[in-house]
């Protein structure tokens, strides 16, 4: 199975900060990566698919980039509601695999 | 609007079986692949299984292959996860999710609230 190595595992930041989360795949997966946000006790929510396409309704402060094996999620200016855990997910081949998650904390 | 609701969770002894259901509404169920994803307490997300729109093509995660079976009833807008030979490490919240394909890219667009399965003696 393809391994997704996500970093950092946790991140402390403040409102207004710019933050970056990265995922590295164990092989070339083209641009077949999504980014998901999860808040405590809630189901995940898709933010980005196809490495860089913003899902409808997601604020434009979220952006994704990368191709091949290195991918990045960037939040340009943190808002209070962005404090959550973020996961990358490769959908290049089955089994799909998630990164370990990044907990974004104040 | 799209709704997914899981049911069938509960406490089960190791080695026993359990079947989860996910009832879907608000979209043409028979046109979409459906996934199961789980999350152990305090841990990250783990992809479990997917089934194609027509029910013909399942795929499984390595940790459940041979023990879990995904199926669907398109006449009842429901996807199932039959779990056998359950282990304590299968304890998790199980989410079902609707797959979307847009611009050639697949992703899990909508998710249910989850069902807790606890495997314990």
Reported as a single tens digit per residue, the pLDDT across A14-39 is: 999 999 999 999 999 999 999 999 99
Give residue A106's pLDDT: 79
What residues in A contact B62, CB-CB < 8 Å?
A: 1, 95
Which residues in chain A belong to E strands, given as ranges?
4-7, 10-12, 19-25, 33-38, 45-49, 53-54, 62-67, 70-75, 85-90, 97-98, 102-105
Best interface-test mutation with A: which of B4, B47, B66 has the largest number of A CBs within 10 A? B47
Return the pLDDT at B4.
98
Contacts of B53 (CB under 8 A, 6+ apart): B30, B31, B32, B33
Query: Which are the contacts of B33, defined by CB distance < 8 A and separation ≥ 6?
Result: B50, B51, B52, B53, B98, B99, B106
Q: Given an 8 Å threshold on Cβ–Cβ distance, is B47 in contact with A49?
A: no
pLDDT band at A88 (very low <50, low <70, confident <90, very high): very high
Shortest alpha-carbon distance between residue A73 and chain B (Å): 16
pLDDT score at A103: 98
Residues of A in contact with B61 (CB under 8 A): 1, 95
Contacting residues for A16 by C-beta, under 8 A, at least 6 apart: A77, A78
Which portions of chain B are predicted below pLDDT 50?
A: none
Preferred mutation among A95, A98, A101, A103 to probe B, highest tally of B CBs within 10 A: A95
Chain A residues within 8 A of B114 when measuring between CB atoms: 43
Q: Which residues of B touch A89 (CB under 8 A)?
A: 45, 47, 107-108
- Looking at residue A59, its pLDDT comes to 97
Phi, psi at A23, each rounded to 5°: -135, 135
**Which residue, among A57, A71, A96, A99, would best test binding to B if mutated, counting the most B CBs under 10 Å from its CB?**
A96
């Amino acid at each position: 199975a393809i391994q997704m190595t996500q970093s950092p595992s946790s991140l402390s930041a403040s409102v207004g900060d710019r933050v970056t989360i990265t995922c590295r795949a164990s092989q070339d997966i083209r641009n077949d990566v999504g980014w998901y946000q999860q808040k405590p006790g809630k189901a995940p929510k898709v933010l980005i698919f196809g490495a860089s396409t913003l899902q409808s309704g997601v604020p434009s402060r979220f952006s994704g980039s990368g191709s091949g094996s290195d991918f990045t999620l960037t939040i340009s200016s943190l808002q209070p509601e962005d404090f959550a855990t973020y996961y990358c997910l490769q959908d290049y081949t089955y089994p799909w695999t998630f990164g370990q998650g990044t907990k974004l904390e104040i | 609007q799209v709704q997914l609701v899981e049911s069938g969770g509960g406490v089960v002894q190791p080695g026993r079986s359990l079947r989860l259901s996910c009832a879907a509404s608000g979209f043409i169920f028979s046109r979409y692949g459906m996934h199961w994803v789980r999350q152990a307490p305090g841990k990250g997300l783990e992809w479990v299984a997917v089934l194609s729109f027509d029910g013909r093509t399942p795929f499984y995660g390595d940790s459940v292959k041979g023990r879990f079976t995904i199926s669907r009833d398109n006449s009842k807008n429901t996807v199932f996860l039959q779990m056998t030979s359950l282990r304590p490490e299968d304890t998790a919240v199980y989410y079902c999710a609707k797959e979307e394909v847009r611009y050639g890219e697949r992703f899990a667009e909508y998710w249910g609230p989850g069902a807790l399965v606890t495997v314990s003696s």
